[in-house]
Amino acid sequence: MEFTRAESFLHEGLLQSFELTKYILKTNVYPREPTPLKELREVTTRHPGKLMSTAPDSGQLIGMLLKLINAKKTIEIGVYTGYSLLLTALSIPHDAMIIAIDPNKETYEIGLPVIQKAGVEHKINFIESQALPVLDILLQNKDNEGSFDFAFVDADKENYLNYHERLLKLVKVGGLIIFDNTLWGGTVAQPEEAVSEDRKESRRSIIEFNNSVSIDQRIEIALAPSGDGLTICRRIR
């Protein structure tokens, strides 16, 4: 799949060198990308929102982390056509589960046939909703507290801190919460005047989020400059 330079910046990473980004994808990522994920990427290219899919190099890192922590109970906020969802479903054991939340069922249904063909639909509980009310309902049941191994957040940036607070209660000590797009196309390091109007508010939210998690003593963090920036939070208390 070929991208213009602008598309590749948004979709494939923040590396300064387009050639280097392509090199990483061609040598390490695409050759090892599971066939269903390739199919899902292909299906998604026909959709106008295609650049929203999780970058394949980030996907490779997320899949590795899911296996390293042996994640079984997971949650995803922001599904779109399901690249990160299918990646998670393929990376966790047969009897593991994902609660996947997105108010847009139509886009989920674009990728659903690929998920079904891959034989992993049974792991997925898709909830058509805004995420915050679902998280609040989950938190009403004390049994859910500290019961999740893993969470992936890739939705409305304005709510990242709200998701963080709730997920810190739902994810166990030692579990991971990963937030996507935390470098926001590189705009976090640019003066606000240089940023287009439509990205200003989300940029402010991401900066506020980054500042807040950087001093949050309940977690350890690593900000991986993969894709559009992945902040990996490990709950420690």
In the complex, which residues of this chain contact ligand SAM (CB under 6 A)? 52-54, 77-81, 83-84, 101-104, 107, 130-131, 154-156
What type of residue is 163?
Y
Q: Which two tokens stand for residue 13?
A: 């990473």
Q: How far is the CB of 217 from ligand SAM (least distance, A)?
A: 27
Q: Are 231 and 213 in contact (CB under 8 A)?
A: yes
Task: Report the residue from 63, 99, 180, 185 that binds Ca ion according to the rule CB under 5 A.
Answer: 180
Q: What does 53 interact with, of Ca ion, ligand SAM, none (CB < 5 to 8 A by kind)?
A: ligand SAM
Stretch that binds Ca ion, among 22-30, 135-143, 146-154, 190-198 (CB under 5 A): 146-154
How far is residue 83 from each of residues 177, 179, 202, 219, measured CA to CA in Å? 17, 15, 22, 27
Please, which residues have CB within 8 angstroms of residue 221's CB and are 6 or more apart in sequence?
213, 214, 231, 232, 233, 234
Q: Kindly tell me which residue out of 21, 181, 187, 202 binds Ca ion, with binding defined by CB under 5 A.
A: 181
Partner in contact with 101, chosen from ligand SAM, Ca ion, none, beta carbon below 5 to 8 Å by kind: ligand SAM
Q: Which does 57 bind (CB under 5 to 8 A by kind): ligand SAM, Ca ion, none?
A: none
Complex with ligand SAM: residue 196 or 217, whichever CB lies closer: 196
Which 10-29 positions form the footprint of Ca ion (CB under 5 A)? none
Measured CA to CA in angstroms, residue 37 lies from 43, 82, 133, 150, 233 at distances of 10, 9, 30, 20, 25
